A = this chain, B = another copy of it.
Amino acid sequence: MTNRITSVQNAQFKQWRKLHQAKYRKRLQTYLIEGEHLVEEALKHLPEAAFEALIISENYRGELIAEDKVDYIITQSMSDQLSQTPANQGVFAVLKMPLSDSLPQDGTHYLLIDNVQDPGNVGTMIRTADAFNYDAVILGEGSVDIYNDKVLRATQGSIWHLPVLTQNLRDSIKILKHKNIPILATTLNEQAVSYQSLDSFNACAIIMGNEGQGVSSELIKFADQSVYIPMPGQSESLNVAVATGILLSKFVNN
Contact = CB atoms under 8 A, between A and B. Distances in A.
Interface of A: 120, 124, 127-134, 154, 156, 158, 161-162, 229-239, 241-246, 249, 252-254
Contact of A132 (B130, B233, B244, B254): B233
A234 B128 CA distance: 10
Contact of A234 (B158, B229, B243): B158
Q: DSSP class of A's interface residues: helix, strand, loop or mixed? A: loop
Nearest to A196: B249
B244 A232 contact: no
A235 B130 contact: yes
Given A131-B235, A232-B252, A245-B246, 17 more contacts: A124-B239, A124-B242, A127-B238, A127-B239, A128-B235, A128-B242, A130-B233, A130-B234, A131-B237, A132-B232, A156-B236, A158-B234, A162-B234, A238-B245, A239-B241, A239-B245, A243-B245
A99 to B, nearest CB: 15
27 contacts: A124-B241, A127-B242, A128-B239, A130-B233, A130-B235, A131-B235, A131-B238, A132-B233, A133-B232, A133-B233, A154-B239, A156-B236, A156-B237, A158-B234, A161-B233, A161-B234, A162-B233, A162-B234, A229-B249, A230-B252, A241-B241, A241-B242, A242-B242, A242-B244, A243-B245, A245-B246, A246-B249
A232 B109 CA distance: 13
A211 to B, nearest CB: 9
Nearest to A160: B234
A244 B128 CA distance: 13
